[in-house]
C-alpha cells in the first residue's frame, strides 16, 4: 500500500496571511524525505490554496510522483498538459464547498470526460476518476478510459458506529473489486485519519491512499516529518 500526501492545506495556511509561508513546495520535500510515495495537490479554479507557481515548482522538484487533482475545465486541462503530472485525478468542484464534496458524476459527463481522458493519454498522463463507491460510476470510469479510480471514502470516515463503518467498508471493497475486474487501478481517499486508516487498508484491492487534512493537522503538533512517518507506519 502506497501513501501519497495532499499538501493543499499547507497552502491554505499560507493564504490566510497572503505571504510566502508556510511553503507547500518545502512541505512536499519533507513528505518525500519522510517516505511519502507521492504528492497530491488540487489546483482549484479560485486558487484558494495551491496556485500556479506552486504547481510549477512542485513539477520541477518532486522526485516521487505528482498527482494533480483537477476539475475537467478548459483552463485547468490546459495547465495539466503544460505541467505533465504523472497522474491527474478528476474531481468535482464547487466554489462554495469547504472541501471536495462527493465523487464526480462520471456517468453524467461521459462524453466530455472521454475526450479529456484521451487528451491526457495523448500527453502520456495517467488518469484517475474520484468517484463514490457506486457500481454505475465505476462502470462509467472504465467506459471513459480511466486508468484508475479513487474511491471517495468520506461516508466511511463519517460513520458513527462500528457497524456503520463496516457497512461502508464493504461498499468500498465491492467497488474496488469491480474496478480491478475492469482492469483499473484503485486509490482511495477523503477523511482518512490515524484512527480509521488501518481498517481501510484491509481492502486489498486498494493500491494507494491519498491523505491530507489529518496529516497536516497532526504536523502542527509533532512536525510534518513525524506526522508522515506515523501515517506510513499505519498504512504499511
DSSP, residue by residue, 60-114: HH-SS-EEEEE---HHHHHHHHHH--SEEEE----TT-SS--S---TGGGHHHHH
Which residue is it, cell 484521451? 118
DSSP character for 219? H
Residues 186-225 that bind ligand PXP (CB under 6 A): 189-192, 210-214
- 53 phi-psi bin (left φ>0, alpha ψ -120 to 50, beta other): alpha
Pick the closer one to ligand PXP by CB: 130 or 142: 130
Residue 34 φ then ψ, to 5°: -80, -10
Q: Which position among 73, 99, 118, 202 is part of the footprint of ligand PXP (CB under 6 A)?
A: 99
Q: Is 152 a catalytic residue?
A: no
What's phi and psi for 70, nearest 5 deg? -160, 155
Establish if 30 lies at the interface with ligand PXP (CB under 6 A). no
Which secondary-structure segment (H or E) carries 127? strand 126-131
Q: Which of 30, 68, 87, 89 binds ligand PXP (CB under 6 A)?
A: 89
Residue 72: name the closest of 96, 106, 122, 38 by CA: 106
- Does residue 85 bind ligand PXP (CB under 6 A)? no
Q: How far apart are CA 214 and CA 232, in angstroms?
A: 13
| Active-site entry in 32, 69, 93, 205 | 69
Which whole-number Å values give the CA distances from 203 to 49, 157, 176, 199, in the listed order? 31, 15, 8, 8
Q: Which of 7, 8, 125, 134 binds ligand PXP (CB under 6 A)?
A: 8
Q: Is 9 a catalytic residue?
A: no
Q: How far is the CB of 194 from ligand PXP (least distance, A)?
A: 11
Specify the residue, 7 or 25, whose C-beta has the smaller distance to ligand PXP.
7
Residue 22 is a binding residue for ligand PXP (CB under 6 A): no
Q: Is 6 in the site for ligand PXP (CB under 6 A)?
A: yes
Identified catalytic residue from 9, 42, 49, 168: 42
> CB 181 → ligand PXP: shortest distance, Å?
22
Instruction: Specify the residue, 122 or 129, whose C-beta has the smaller distance to ligand PXP.
Output: 129
What is the distance between the alpha carbons of residues 44 and 183, in angstroms, rounded to a whole number? Answer: 30
> Is the CB of 97 or the CB of 164 nearer to ligand PXP?
97
The residue ranges that bind ligand PXP (CB under 6 A) are 6, 8, 42, 69, 89, 91, 99-100, 130, 150, 189-192, 210-214
Residues known to be catalytic: 42, 69, 190
Amino acid at each position: 500500500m502506497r501513501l501519497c500526501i495532499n499538501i493543499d492545506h499547507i497552502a491554505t495556511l499560507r493564504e490566510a496571511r497572503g505571504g510566502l509561508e508556510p511553503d507547500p513546495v518545502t512541505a512536499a520535500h519533507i513528505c518525500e524525505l519522510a517516505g511519502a510515495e507521492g504528492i497530491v495537490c488540487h489546483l482549484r479554479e479560485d486558487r484558494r490554496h495551491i496556485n500556479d507557481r506552486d504547481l510549477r515548482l512542485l513539477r520541477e522538484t518532486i522526485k516521487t510522483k505528482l498527482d494533480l487533482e483537477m476539475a475537467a475545465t478548459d483552463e485547468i486541462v490546459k495547465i495539466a498538459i503544460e505541467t505533465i503530472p504523472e497522474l491527474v485525478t478528476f474531481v468535482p468542484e464547487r466554489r462554495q464547498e469547504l472541501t471536495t464534496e462527493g465523487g464526480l458524476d462520471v456517468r453524467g459527463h461521459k462524453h466530455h470526460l472521454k475526450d479529456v481522458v484521451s487528451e491526457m493519454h495523448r500527453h502520456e498522463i495517467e488518469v484517475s476518476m474520484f468517484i463514490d463507491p457506486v457500481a454505475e460510476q465505476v462502470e462509467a470510469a472504465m467506459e471513459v478510459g480511466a486508468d484508475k479510480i479513487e474511491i471517495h471514502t468520506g461516508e466511511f470516515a463519517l460513520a458513527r458506529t462500528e457497524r456503520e463503518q463496516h457497512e461502508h467498508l464493504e461498499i468500498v471493497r465491492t467497488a474496488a473489486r469491480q474496478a480491478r475486474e475492469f482492469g483499473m487501478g484503485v486509490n482511495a481517499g477523503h477523511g482518512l485519519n490515524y484512527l480509521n486508516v488501518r481498517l481501510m487498508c484491509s481492502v486489498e484491492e486498494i493500491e494507494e491512499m491519498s491523505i491530507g487534512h489529518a496529516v497536516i493537522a497532526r504536523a502542527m503538533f509533532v512536525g510534518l516529518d513525524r506526522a508522515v512517518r506515523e501515517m506510513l507506519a499505519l498504512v504499511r
